[in-house]
Amino acid sequence: MPFLQKEKLFSLKWFKEYAFITLGSFILAVGFVYFISPHKIVPGGIYGVGIVVHYLTKGLFSFWPEGFPVGLFALLVNIPLTIVGIKVLGPRFGVKTVVGFVLTSVFMDLITYLRPVGDAALVEDVLLSCVFGGVLLGVGLGFIFKSRASSGGSAIISMILSKYTGIQLGQSLIYVDSVIVIFGLIAFGEWQIPLYSWVVIYITGRAIDITIEGFDYNKALLIISDKHEEIKNKILVDLERGGTYLKGNGMYSGQEKQIIYTVVSRREVAILEQYISQIDPDAFITVMDAKEILGEGFQSLKNKMDD
């Protein structure tokens, strides 16, 4: 996560980022309230712990007969956790991160309060709730991440764990969320809960990627062929794409090779493969997903940073 950067208040970029945070927080709250929490699913994170606490405290408080509010619990944990994170890791958690988890907590408890039956599931089918809930959680988090904010919570714990153990951040986040999922198993004593929870975690991760990167992935191609001149002309003239020549040597033959590196759309991959198969059936082609392309002919790096 980047360190804090100064931002121009009330600029178009400022409004867009806070609009993303607000929308993302609302979608995230809807996913939890309508699909995740009613089935006691614990998809990691502080909100997952909040769901466990909510059901374990049912009937303990006269003013909260249904249990300690999930949003309030998450807020009470996130505030000191963020302060500790700032002291241990430095100024990595800006105002946007605080706004994000405050809005999510408020939306969660407000939506629950306004519902006729706060803990009622919108869909009785648990697997269907996992799918739709995971998608909503992923889209909501994706919008928050697009604004260059953090979801706080377990992400901060993971960063601290990573700093002192040397474990990669991605791995430490999986460990922390897995411990929270196991906590749900111990609390509720039902094996299907962690299984459904991991389904939600997987779907959420995929939905985050799609929200941030989009559906229409381009393809990056590495092409090794003796007919590289013809292929170059096909790319430049017919497809109106660019590319780069890379020099290489065959490991077995030792012969110098011209390697073409280019980025095209999915449709253009099929066109190019058909053409190459006709002129050089022995060509070697590697096709890779290129989830984000920045530069001439694609999205401008400057425009992305200004969005």
List CB contacts of 58: < 8 A, sequence separation 6 or more: 65, 66, 67
Residue 2 lies in a domain: no
Does 197 lie in the same domain as 231?
no
Cα distances (angstroms) measured from residue 210 to each of 10, 47, 63, 146, 155? 28, 22, 41, 11, 20
Domain extent for 108? 12-213
The full length of the chain comes to 307
Of 213, 230, 247, which one is at a domain's C-terminal end?
213
205 phi and psi angles, rounded to 5 deg: -60, -45
Task: Looking at the structure, tell me whether residues 155 and 276 fall in a common domain.
Answer: no
Question: pLDDT tens across 284-304, in order?
Answer: 999 988 766 666 655 555 555
130 and 30, same domain (yes or no): yes
Q: What is the pLDDT of residues 241-297, one digit of tens each?
A: 889 999 988 887 788 889 999 998 888 888 899 999 999 999 999 998 876 666 665
Say if residue 224 is in the same domain as residue 165: no
The pLDDT score that the predictor gives to residue 97 is: 83
User: Which CATH number fits the domain that encloses residue 285?
Assistant: 3.30.70.120
pLDDT at 93: 60
C-beta separation of 205 from 134 below 8 A: no
Using an 8 Å Cβ cutoff, are 17 and 148 in contact? yes
What confidence score (pLDDT) does residue 197 get? 93
Last residue of a domain, one of 174, 190, 213: 213
The number of folded domains in the chain is: 2
Q: Which of 135, 50, 46, 34 is nearest to 85 (CA)?
A: 46
Please state, in angstroms and rounded to a whole number, the distance separating the CA atoms of residues 293 and 217: 9
Report the first-to-last Cα separation within the chain, whole angstroms: 18
CA distance 281 to 305: 42
- Torsion, Cα 58 84 148 288, to 10 degrees, reads -90
Distance from C-alpha of 127 to C-alpha of 86, rounded to nearest angstrom: 38
197 falls within a domain: yes
**104 and 32 assigned to the same domain:** yes
**pTM, whole model, 2 decimals?**
0.76
Cα–Cα dist 48/180, whole Å? 7
In this structure, are 139 and 209 located in the same domain?
A: yes
